Amino acid sequence: MSEVVAIVPARGGSKGVIRKNLRRVGGIPLVARAIDAAQRCPSIDRVVVTTDDHDIAAVAAEWGADVIIRPDELAGDTASSESALLHALAVLEERGADVGVLAFLQATSPFIDAPALEEAIQLVRSRRRDSVFSAVQTYGFLWARTASSAAEAVNHDAEVRPRRQDRDPHYLETGAFYVLRAAGFRALRHRFFGSVGFVEVPARTAIEIDSEGELEIARALAPLIDAPGPLAVDAVVTDFDGVHTDDSLQLSQDGTESVTVSRTDGMGVALLRAAGVPVLILSTETNPVVAARAAKLRVEVVHGVADKAAALRDWAARHDIALSRTAYLGNDVNDLACLELVGWPVAVPGAHPQVLAAARVVLDKPGGAGAVRDLADRVLAGRAAASVPPSVRPQERA
């Protein structure tokens, strides 16, 4: 049978938001959010990212997508999405793929509704429609500016102002996804052809990022829209001060320093070790108490390092651990570089505002009072959920 293939165009050059497709919303790179939405659709057989950028390609591969490197002439400001899609289809055919349905996803839409995407795919697969796009309902009165800069009514009679309940809605294209019969798209080279339909998506998901302001809005919306789910994690890395401790320090008269830690955190780490989850404590501080706590917990420690991100990359490479499958727990600005590297950036409550904004998950327990145990419980719950056959899992909705 022919495949349903999701293709995400994601070029490296962008003017309005520099490196846009790698910027994070809800702790996840935009290109990865599109990949994840596609992977949550049961009907999609393959997810492909077409890009000219090797950093984007690396992120896409880590998140489980196939990668097609497009030529420079299809990656400039004037290149159309259609040209990138047609090139990707040609490459897939050369690789032996038989693409029957094409789902075109845009990474600039961070909140792609997976159930709506699945509905659109079914409309095309069943041959009820040839082209289906995402849309949001609107009752807005639209106006255009004339040649003389006067306002001119577009979708209504300016002399008649009916109540909302007395009007039929219009539907605004969101740009999040387009599902197309592949043969028709190849022949006509356009995303709208044949019998065209749309699938309505929630208005709160209908944001497209083309400016820094829209990126900030999306980041503010992410905690309200993203469905909480189990952590898909193979390794846990934590900061020390403010995570294993409450970030306070006791100083005796002889200059001896001491901190307070939580016994429940120790149990959490022990449970992670028992489950085979590698744990690393990573700290910029050179302090015997950090090494002593790591020894007590029987976990690796790297401390006294200025570049925590480089140390994290090196540790992950040595242990052959994918950063996209790593949770990093931090609390302050010196953790930001590490939070940007991993698939699961996690913050303690009360962390620095920039850390909270970068986090995919904000824990319930504060540092020094069970934060590490909180994270451990979530990681173990995620591993347990992954071991349950899909047929018996509860339905998830984004």
CA distances, 62 to each of 6, 110, 278 (Å): 17, 18, 19
Residue 201's contacts (CB-CB under 8 Å, 6 or more residues apart) are 113, 116, 134, 135, 136, 174, 176
**Residue 72 counted as domain residue:** yes
**Residue 285 counted as domain residue:** yes
- Here the CATH number for the domain that contains residue 34 is 3.90.550.10
- Give the pLDDT of residue 276: 95
Cα–Cα distance measured from residue 353 to residue 362, given in angstroms and rounded to the nearest whole number: 12
Question: Are 184 and 258 in the same domain?
Answer: no
Question: Are 251 and 333 in the same domain?
Answer: yes
Residue 228's contacts (CB-CB under 8 Å, 6 or more residues apart) are none
For residue 9, count CB atoms less than 10 angstroms from its CB and return exposed for 0-12, middle for 13-18, buried for 19 or more.
buried
Cα–Cα distance measured from residue 174 to residue 398, given in angstroms and rounded to the nearest whole number: 17
Question: Are 181 and 309 in the same domain?
Answer: no
Q: Which residues pair with 144 in a beta bridge?
A: 152
Determine how many CB atoms are found less than 10 A away from the CB of residue 78. Answer: 6
Strands (E), the chain: 3-9, 24-25, 28-29, 46-51, 66-69, 99-105, 131-138, 143-145, 151-153, 170-181, 196-200, 235-238, 250-251, 257-258, 279-283, 300-303, 326-330, 344-347, 361-362
- Here the CATH number for the domain that contains residue 342 is 3.40.50.1000
**Residue 315 counted as domain residue:** yes
Last residue of a domain, one of 225, 259, 275: 225
Question: Are 191 and 254 in the same domain?
Answer: no
Question: Are 271 and 369 in the same domain?
Answer: yes
Cα–Cα distance measured from residue 338 to residue 360, given in angstroms and rounded to the nearest whole number: 13
Buried-exposed string 331-342: b where 16+ CB fall within 10 A, e elsewhere? bbebbbbbbbbb
CA dihedral 29, 63, 223, 200 (to 10 degrees): 100
- Give the pLDDT of residue 255: 63
Domain count along the chain: 2
- Give the pLDDT of residue 253: 64
Question: Are 185 and 76 in the same domain?
Answer: yes
Helix boundaries (H) for 239-328: 263-274, 288-297, 308-318
**Residue 397 counted as domain residue:** no
CB 85 within 8 A of CB 39: no
Q: pTM of the entire structure?
A: 0.84
Q: Could you tell me which of 50, 30, 198, 224 has the C-alpha nearest to residue 112?
A: 30
Question: Are 174 and 38 in the same domain?
Answer: yes
Question: Are 69 and 197 in the same domain?
Answer: yes
Cα 287 from chain centre? 36
CB 301 within 8 A of CB 294: yes
CB 249 within 8 A of CB 257: yes
Question: Are 120 and 60 in the same domain?
Answer: yes
User: Which tokens in the block code for residue 292?
Assistant: 């002593």
**Residue 392 counted as domain residue:** no
SS3 49: strand
Place of tokens 């790698």: 22
Cα–Cα distance measured from residue 303 to residue 376, given in angstroms and rounded to the nearest whole number: 21
**Residue 250 counted as domain residue:** yes
Question: Are 184 and 87 in the same domain?
Answer: yes
SS3 254: coil
The pLDDT tens digits for 317-344 are 999 999 989 999 999 999 999 999 999 9
Cα–Cα distance measured from residue 373 to residue 236, given in angstroms and rounded to the nearest whole number: 12
Q: Could you tell me which of 327, 291, 286, 282 has the C-alpha nearest to residue 309?
A: 282
**Residue 260 counted as domain residue:** yes
- Give the pLDDT of residue 77: 81
Question: Are 183 and 50 in the same domain?
Answer: yes
Cα–Cα distance measured from residue 66 to residue 47, given in angstroms and rounded to the nearest whole number: 6
CA dihedral 265, 270, 271, 274 (to 10 degrees): 170
Determine how many CB atoms are found less than 10 A away from the CB of residue 100. Answer: 16
- Give the pLDDT of residue 301: 95
**Residue 161 counted as domain residue:** no
Last residue of a domain, one of 225, 246, 272: 225
Q: Which residues pair with 171 in a beta bridge?
A: 137
Last residue of a domain, one of 225, 257, 292: 225
Contacts of the segment 64-73: beta carbons below 8 A, 24+ positions apart: 64/35, 64/39, 65/8, 65/35, 68/92, 70/11
Domain extent at residue 248: 235-386
Tens digit of pLDDT per residue, the chain (398 long)?
799 999 999 999 887 899 999 999 999 999 999 999 999 999 999 999 999 999 999 999 999 999 999 998 888 888 899 999 999 999 999 999 999 999 999 999 999 999 999 999 999 999 999 999 999 999 999 999 999 999 999 988 998 888 889 889 999 999 999 999 999 999 999 999 999 999 999 999 999 999 999 999 999 999 899 987 778 899 999 999 999 999 776 766 666 666 788 999 999 999 999 999 999 999 988 778 899 999 999 999 999 999 999 999 999 999 999 998 999 999 999 999 999 999 999 999 999 999 999 999 999 999 999 999 999 999 999 998 877 555 444 444 33
Question: Are 368 and 322 in the same domain?
Answer: yes
- Give the pLDDT of residue 248: 75
Cα 249 from chain centre? 36
